[in-house]
Amino acid sequence: MTNSNPKNRQERLDRVFNPQTVVVVGSKKIDEYNWLKNMSTFTGKLYSVQIDPNEIPGIEELGITNFKSLKEVPEPIDFVLCAVPRPVTPRIVQDCIDVGVGGVVLYTSGFAETATEDGIRLQEAITKMAREADLMLVGPNCMGIYNPKVGVRFGQDQVAGVSGHVSFISQSGSQGSGFGLECQAQGLNVCKVVSFGNGVVLDSPDYLEYFAQDPECQVITMYVEGTRDGRRFFKTLRDVAQRKPVLVWKGGQTPDSARATRSHTASLAVSSTIWDALIRQTGAIPVHGLEETVDMAKALLFTKPFTGARLGLLAVAGGHSVEIADAFSMQGLNVPALTEASYEKLASFFSVIGGSFRNPLEGGGNMASEEKVIDILRILEEDATIDAIVVEMGMFGRRNLNVLERRVKTLVEFKQITTKPLWSCWSGGVTRVDPEAQQKAALELQEGGVPVFGSITRAARAMGKFVRYSRWLQEQ
Amino acid sequence: MTNSNPKNRQERLDRVFNPQTVVVVGSKKIDEYNWLKNMSTFTGKLYSVQIDPNEIPGIEELGITNFKSLKEVPEPIDFVLCAVPRPVTPRIVQDCIDVGVGGVVLYTSGFAETATEDGIRLQEAITKMAREADLMLVGPNCMGIYNPKVGVRFGQDQVAGVSGHVSFISQSGSQGSGFGLECQAQGLNVCKVVSFGNGVVLDSPDYLEYFAQDPECQVITMYVEGTRDGRRFFKTLRDVAQRKPVLVWKGGQTPDSARATRSHTASLAVSSTIWDALIRQTGAIPVHGLEETVDMAKALLFTKPFTGARLGLLAVAGGHSVEIADAFSMQGLNVPALTEASYEKLASFFSVIGGSFRNPLEGGGNMASEEKVIDILRILEEDATIDAIVVEMGMFGRRNLNVLERRVKTLVEFKQITTKPLWSCWSGGVTRVDPEAQQKAALELQEGGVPVFGSITRAARAMGKFVRYSRWLQEQ
């Protein structure tokens, strides 16, 4: 989409991402009126377009006004979600053009990604229509837009009415959906997600440009399998990465996985090494997989770049203190001995029976007292040999959720006074906390500015990468 | 512990691991009678020893008979759990010797691991007493024994009344506890866990020898930080690894984490590279972290060694098909094109709208029909270019647990007829299934012989390592 001027294009995309009127075309009983239910949290006006008389009563039962055509909707339409059968798509696209909608998401799939003659021909037809009319078309073969703030969703498990600062651009619907749900489960609110599928009109660079100027977005993350215009992709990435951190997860990095990207989004594979080098040259950060994408987003959202790598590590138990020290030191970070002054202060109150304070610190029974925890943290704050602090959130069973609540409060309070980067992490493995309690704790920690990572290992990997990135930034 | 003959020692250890009478010494109200509650699932006779008159009523309220001394217990004692204050331990150890108990777990900590003069002296005294009397002493500074079959536990979250085939030897209590809970959450029953702490009498080689001859144990896993007698450790490991697979996770692999192992179990660090090489020479398998330990245990429990690395991968959605192919092919495994015959069969029923069958297979809408899923699996079974099959369990929301139940049934049925290794994996990230439903599904899959891994990436890493191990075995 390069035929309109950039500023105008950003404004027009903003209308699509923050609509006041949404119309779902083609919602059906067999899908349990899925798309209309997805939009049930939308804060603006929601309408349906459906011509099948058998479908209309079910739609009206949901309390939604149905029209027979987009042309009948009696007000300006900002956003159309099109879920009609493949052969009908050209007619809906034409209606969108005629009515002058803000933009349309084509959920419908079965185009070039199927490598069938019919699919390719139909995709070409739709693309030509949309480009000639300068229609903001998202997709086809995609889930479209998730903006929790205005309640535009593409899944009923997605939370609405919240607002975060990380956005995700995804060529894949399932990864787009996965990113939102993973952030949610980890207590991290997202800004916006766009799943753009085959990207025939609006491609990843368009979304990069949009999020670059979106004041609500601080960190841009993306999942790409390929791009129609490599030159434009890398040029845009370079421009945008100067303004905001961009994390790029590339799907299809081996000849074998290329068989999947070809049939998924008709993209070719690029080897992992070449790709990572190209991405790094632009100033963006290559990441691999959903977990690393979310972890690095957290690192960037909650921490200013830091290059000092001497860590104070506080674990809850002995084996975990060994594990946390192994994990961080194997990432090239240091876990130094503390100063004698710190050891003297610690020795005055810290019980070493079932505990240890050499660094890593093994809290043991000392962690039963939040006063002791805060005293330990203050000593790490004052110790000049320590650049950053990591606290293991530990193994809170279902029976001691009150300890978890107190610990969250302690860390959020300490965050107000510390001048050092402060991270936390769960112990790892399958959660042993009630998942809802864990999500709530994560949300509170992160609202208090303390990122919490899914495991010791994940925190260590994220910090290793973050410190290397910070050092690279410093050299620029 | 080398002063009794090995066969006799195994029999005596078996009495401790499978006791008929357990006595908890020193259970207290301030700990909420934790140790007595841990043992509430014990299938044999449970008694308490406590001299403090303030504590006794609370113990009796639990319905447990209390005695003032081990000497008063009117029958042979197989297992003593000792949770008394540090200075009292020598007296209890002496009582154990005098009474002739099967063995004693010293939960009490505060010995050599604190590097205090008192602690070291007390540890030496206890060690001398136990060795001279040939007392089977586990610990001190440990959680002791978990045997779900007989309900001997060291935590109230631990399941009882089940029995599995993987045992864990842990120098760390928290890792020992973590292993059991992680297996449980992943639907994997454990055989036995021993946390042996400072290991002053019974050391890791003793437990290795015991599990080597334990007919219920098929795979031995262990977490070690150090060993008193390196020569014996490696000799035993070599002997045992010839008989059963042994996974070794070493804590304290860097100078920084050595600060933790010194204070935790008074062990020195060995560099990761040297250690891994030494372990490999014995025929055991080095692993890193809890997740890899559990994953490799699953691989070994459910799969005979296989060296063919051409995989048929079935994912639920497009982005996931790319991700699964990336993950496995980046581990050096192959995801080949299928035969023309397979493609013809697939083309006859497989919808490619929102799906693809090139391999990786993207099930898409086809996965709504278990008949189609089983047909797909049968085609992979018959395809001679495929050595092993991996199925993504997918993103079952809380609203479609019935689909999950059907899928489990399909895979377990297919397992009965397939001649090829069959693995499955969750999509990864924080669980989107109800945790209890996920645990139940995992248990059923694994009872049906199909291991299920925590994420695509974890399955891929485990299979990469498993195939390399299988090739190494073949070369022997």
Domain extent listing, chain B: 6-299, 304-475
Pick from B251, B272, B337: CB nearest A259: B337
Under 8 Å CB pairs connecting chains A and B tally to 253
B87 pLDDT higher than 80: yes
Give me the pLDDT at residue A268, please. Answer: 62
Give me the pLDDT at residue B355, please. Answer: 85
Say what the ipTM of the complex is. 0.90
Chain A CA closest to residue B176: A319
Pairing status of strand B66-67 against strand B45-49: parallel
Give me the pLDDT at residue A354, please. Answer: 79
Q: Do A263 and B356 touch (CB under 8 A)?
A: yes
Chain A CA closest to residue B85: A353
Q: Do B325 and A254 touch (CB under 8 A)?
A: yes
Tell me the nearest-neighbour CA distance from B454 into chain A, angstroms: 8
pLDDT in tens, B225-265: 988 888 999 999 999 999 999 999 999 888 888 877 776 66
Q: Which residues of chain A from 270 to 309 reach within 8 Å of chain B, CB to CB?
A: 272, 289-291, 294
Pick from B181, B259, B316: CB nearest A358: B259
B396 pLDDT higher than 90: no
Distance between CA atoms of A244 and A218, rounded to whole angstroms? Answer: 6
B434 pLDDT higher than 80: no
| Of B69 and B364, more confident | B69
Tokens of A276: 């990572």
Show residues of chain B in contact with A264, CB under 8 Å: 318-319, 321-322, 356, 362
Tokens of B432: 């989107």
Show residues of chain A in contact with B262, CB under 8 Å: 358
Q: What is the pLDDT along chain A (476 residues), one digit of tens a residue?
A: 545 576 788 999 999 999 999 999 999 999 999 999 999 999 999 999 999 999 999 999 999 999 999 999 999 999 999 999 999 999 999 999 999 999 999 999 989 888 889 999 999 999 999 999 999 999 999 999 999 999 999 999 999 999 999 999 999 999 999 999 999 989 999 999 999 999 999 999 999 999 999 999 999 999 999 888 889 999 999 999 999 999 999 998 888 888 777 766 666 666 777 888 889 999 999 999 999 999 999 999 999 999 999 999 999 988 999 999 999 999 999 999 999 999 999 999 999 877 889 999 999 889 989 999 999 999 999 999 999 999 999 766 666 788 899 999 999 999 999 999 999 999 877 666 777 888 899 999 999 999 999 999 999 999 999 999 999 999 98
Q: Which residue in B153, B154, B174 has the most chain A C-beta atoms within 10 A of its own C-beta, making it the best mutation to test that interface?
A: B174
Q: Do B429 and A330 touch (CB under 8 A)?
A: no
pTM of the model: 0.92
Pick from A109, A176, A319: CB nearest B175: A319
Tell me what the mean pLDDT of segment B26-52 comes to. Answer: 97
Q: Which residues of chain A from 121 to 140 reach within 8 Å of chain B, CB to CB?
A: none
How many C-beta atoms lie closer than 10 Å to residue B97's C-beta? 17
Q: In this complex, is the C-beta atom of A61 within 8 Å of any C-beta atom belonging to chain B?
A: no
Mean of the per-residue pLDDT values of chain B: 93
Do A6-299 and A304-475 fold alike per CATH?
yes
Q: In this complex, is the C-beta atom of B172 within 8 Å of any C-beta atom belonging to chain A?
A: yes
pLDDT in tens, B338-381: 999 999 999 999 998 778 899 999 998 899 899 999 999 999 99
Give me the pLDDT at residue B436, please. Answer: 83
pLDDT in tens, B411-420: 999 999 999 9
Q: Do A329 and B254 touch (CB under 8 A)?
A: yes
CA torsion sign for B391, B395, B397, B399 is negative
Q: In this complex, is the C-beta atom of B429 within 8 Å of any C-beta atom belonging to chain A?
A: yes
Q: Which CATH architecture has domain A304-475?
A: 3-Layer(aba) Sandwich (3.40)
Pick from B157, B290, B428: CB nearest A397: B157
B2 pLDDT higher than 60: no
| Of B432 and A304, more confident | A304
Give me the pLDDT at residue B261, please. Answer: 79
Tell me what the mean pLDDT of segment B7-20 comes to. Answer: 94
Chain A CA closest to residue B358: A259
Q: Do A337 and B259 touch (CB under 8 A)?
A: yes
Show residues of chain A in contact with B325, CB under 8 Å: 252, 254, 256-257, 259-260
Q: Which CATH architecture has domain B6-299?
A: 3-Layer(aba) Sandwich (3.40)
Q: Do A223 and B353 touch (CB under 8 A)?
A: no
